[in-house]
Every structure is written in structure tokens, then in C-alpha cells.
Chains A and B, each alone.
Chain A
Amino acid sequence: GAVVSQHPSWVICKSGTSVKIECRSLDFQATTMFWYRQFPKQSLMLMATSNEGSKATYEQGVEKDKFLINHASLTLSTLTVTSAHPEDSSFYICSARDETNTQYFGPGTRLTVL
């Protein structure tokens, strides 16, 4: 099946720094990618929808200036958590949709902000 990779798989940073997470579709092109956040023992919360070559669409309550999304190519989307704080600590998961409208998910990135 289709493979989506994420890098890094985990990151620890100091409060106030910025962290970039990469999401790549390895064997298919994805015009649409998604970024989710998952809290312990909860379902996935959609943060934003990223379309190649255009601005991301953010869900209500998600700060677009804090969570910068760039979808520069059909295989790469990045999420940058700017000026991270401890409350941003979470499990971030990206997803890419293929031409059959199936979403494939990356392995996730565990962010810990000290």
C-alpha cells in the first residue's frame, strides 16, 4: 500500500523555539495533505488541510500563525510549530490522500516542549 513518512519521529525542544515536522508521500502524489493532533487516549483532531500550491485551510480554533503549513510539492508538506510552549506538546500525525480518495497516515511525531 501507499506509504507516508514523517520526520522526525520525536522531538524535544525548549519553550519558545520553533519545530518543523516534515510529511512525505513516498510512492504517490498527494494534492491534499492533512495535519492532525492527537491527545492521549483520544481520537484525531484535524488541524488543517493542505493543498499543494495554495494556502492551507485551518480548522476553527487552530492558530494559523502558530502552526505554519507549507505544501511545496505533491509529495511534501511541512508543519512548523512556532514559539512552542508546553501546551503544544502532543502527537502530530500527517495524512496524504491519493487519487482513490483514500487517506494514508504517517507514523506520527511526538513533540515534547520543556
Chain B
Amino acid sequence: AQSVAQPEDQVNVAEGNPLTVKCTYSVSGNPYLFWYVQYPNRGLQFLLKYITGDNLVKGSYGFEAEFNKSQTSFHLKKPSALVSDSALYFCAVREYSSASKIIFGSGTRLSIRP
């Protein structure tokens, strides 16, 4: 069975500093990995995905994530945080099979202080 874990409920970072939001996953086959962001009372916005190819994936708003197969991780990163990055971030995984459902992590609240 597939699963995804976000070990941190909240991450606090000062504006201008680099940020990392952690995600680890478990699937039996090849994974599709995603990051989404949710602002208050809104749906999820797609940030980036990994399917195949380069392990470092670049996405929207200056975010990037690195796929690490040996550590089964897909941490979200940004070199310099903005206050506007404050939101709820979800990591998600899906197995390669077309019948597989996407599974979400529990979410990490990112708070950027001025």
C-alpha cells in the first residue's frame, strides 16, 4: 500500500532564509510525487511534480523538490522564503498504475515571519 508522511506539522522560517518542508513516501512500484499548496478557504494549487527524469524538479513560485530514491524522500525547498509563502503544503504520492489513487500527506503549515 502506498503512503506519504510529512513529519512536521509546522515549519517556521524567517523571510529571506531558505526553507525545507519534508516528505517521505512508500510505494510498491515507481512513484509519481506531487507538492500542492493551499491558502485559507481555497482549493489546492499544483506546485510541482516528479514522474521521471531529473531528480531535481523546479516548480511554481521559485519552489523546487528533490527526489531521493534511496531515502524515499521528496523534500520541498526554496532558497529564499517570502512572507507570501505562508500556507499549508501537502505532499502527495501515486503509484505508476493508472488505477492508483493519489494519497496525501497530513500537511505542513509553513509560517514565514517578516
Question: Which A residues have a C-beta under 8 Å from some C-beta of B?
Answer: 1-2, 4, 6, 34, 42-44, 46, 49, 91, 93, 95, 100-108, 110
| Residue positions of B touching A, CB distance < 8 A | 32, 34, 36, 41-46, 49, 51, 60, 90, 92, 94, 98, 101-102, 104-107
A43-B90, A43-B106 given; name 14 further pairs at CB < 8 Å. Answer: A4-B43, A34-B101, A43-B104, A46-B101, A91-B41, A95-B44, A101-B32, A101-B51, A101-B98, A104-B46, A105-B45, A106-B43, A107-B42, A108-B42
Residues A108 and B32 in contact in the complex (CB < 8 Å), given A1-B46, A101-B94, A102-B49: no
CB neighbours (8 Å) of B45 from chain A are 105
Nearest CB in chain B to that of A97: its residue = B102
B34 touches A103 (CB 8 A): yes
Query: Do A44 and B32 have beta carbons less than 8 Å apart?
Result: no
Given known A43-B90, A46-B101, A102-B34, contact A107–B46 (CB-CB < 8 A):
no
Complex Cα distance, B44 from A34, in Å, reads: 13
Residue contact B43 to A105, C-beta cutoff 8 Å: yes
> A1-B46, A101-B51 known; A43 and B41 CB under 8 Å?
no
Contact A105 B94 (CB under 8 A): no
Bound Cα distance A103, B44 (Å): 10
In the complex, the chain B residue whose C-beta lies closest to that of A4 is B43
